[in-house]
């Protein structure tokens, strides 16, 4: 493709702390981190060998949009420090438009998933048991139906690269976080989703579900961290294509997941390379989501 992709950073002016599925994290000082959104893509918790050009820049732009828009609900980890100011001049091309300097916080050991519609693993769960992550739902719901009574909080464990996230019950979430913190995470996650979903509908996008991550500072103040409401962490459906009873086309990486399901990949490393036609269409979906939501 014409645009070169950034699969992995090579910053030597700062200590590397961690390479995640998508983000490379470096230490700036004892209180701040440099987080770089690469063009890596993961599916079913496995990193694919083919990066998506410009994906990291798109995730950065969308996340910053949501961090700013939702800051009245909960503080986030962003700072005003310019990323280019903490690396050498020869390394600035690796971080331009794809990095944040954030406060160093203690990440919580759960992912806060909020579902407004029945799709993905939630639909499979409902078909088996009439529940999603132990939450009972009315009988007779269809795939992609809006969840009656409003969005639900369905936490999961946080998996490293090559491992799989696992849905957990709210009681297990309470065991991991404590009763008070679990309640705060659930309340804030649903508030964030609801505000974002209401806005997205004005741009003709349905946010079917999303994932948030939270962290604590030394005073146990809760913050929104990681990314926010991107095509990597959310299902975005065009409202005009929405028909209950089937999964609508989407503006997110579900397109890649669907392709992987079609080729019967066993969801364990190594992942197959992404064909050119799938790559091009995925890029177009990410770009469309960014354009529609942020402009």
Q: What is the DSSP string of 2-49?
A: -SPP-SS----SS-EEEE-SSEEEEEEETTEEEEEE-S--EETTEE-S
For domain 106-251, the CATH class is: alpha beta
16-103, superfamily in CATH?
Phosphorylase Kinase; domain 1 (3.30.200.20)
Sign of CA dihedral 228, 232, 233, 239: positive
- Is the pTM higher than 0.75? The answer reads yes
Phi, psi of 282 (to 5 degrees): -65, -45
- Give the 3-state secondary structure of residue 112: strand
Residue 156 bridge partners (DSSP): 111, 167
Q: Is the peptide bond before 20 cis (omega within 30 degrees of 0)?
A: no
Round to whole Å and give the CA distance between 237 and 250.
5
Segments making up each domain of the chain, as ranges? 16-103, 106-251
Identify the sign of the CA torsion 18, 23, 29, 32: negative
Note down pLDDT in tens along the chain; length 295 residues: 457 899 999 999 999 999 999 999 999 999 999 999 999 999 988 999 999 999 999 999 999 999 999 999 999 999 999 999 999 999 999 999 999 999 999 999 999 999 999 998 899 999 999 999 999 999 999 999 999 999 999 999 976 554 567 889 999 999 999 999 999 999 999 999 999 999 999 999 999 999 999 999 999 999 999 999 999 999 999 999 999 999 888 998 888 999 999 999 999 999 999 999 999 999 999 999 999 999 8
């Amino acid at each position: 493709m014409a645009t070169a992709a950034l699969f992995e950073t090579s910053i030597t002016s700062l200590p590397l702390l961690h390479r995640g599925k998508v983000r490379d994290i470096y230490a700036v000082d004892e209180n701040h981190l440099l987080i770089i959104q690469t063009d890596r893509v993961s599916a079913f918790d496995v990193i694919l060998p083919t990066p998506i050009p410009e994906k990291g820049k798109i995730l950065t732009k969308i996340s910053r949009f949501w961090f700013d828009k939702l800051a009245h609900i909960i503080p986030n980890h962003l700072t005003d420090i310019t990323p280019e100011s903490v690396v050498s001049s020869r390394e600035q091309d690796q971080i331009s438009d794809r990095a944040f300097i954030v406060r160093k916080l203690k990440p919580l050991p759960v992912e806060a998933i909020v579902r407004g519609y029945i799709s993905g693993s939630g639909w499979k769960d409902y078909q088996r048991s009439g529940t999603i992550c132990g939450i009972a739902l009315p009988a007779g719901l269809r795939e992609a139906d809006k969840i009656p009574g409003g969005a639900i909080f369905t936490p999961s464990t946080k998996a490293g690269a090559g491992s799989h996230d696992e849905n957990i019950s709210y009681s297990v979430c309470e065991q991991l976080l404590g009763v008070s913190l679990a309640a705060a995470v659930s309340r804030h996650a649903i508030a964030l989703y609801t505000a974002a979903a209401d806005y997205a509908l004005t741009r003709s996008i349905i946010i079917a579900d999303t994932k948030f991550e939270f962290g604590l500072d030394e005073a146990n103040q809760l913050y929104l961290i990681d990314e926010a409401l991107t095509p990597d962490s959310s299902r975005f459906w065009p409202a005009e294509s929405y028909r209950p009873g089937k999964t609508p086309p989407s503006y997110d990486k579900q397109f890649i997941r669907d392709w992987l399901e079609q080729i019967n990949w066993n969801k364990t490393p190594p992942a197959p390379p992404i064909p050119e036609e799938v790559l091009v269409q995925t890029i177009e979906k990410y770009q469309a989501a960014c354009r529609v939501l942020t402009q």
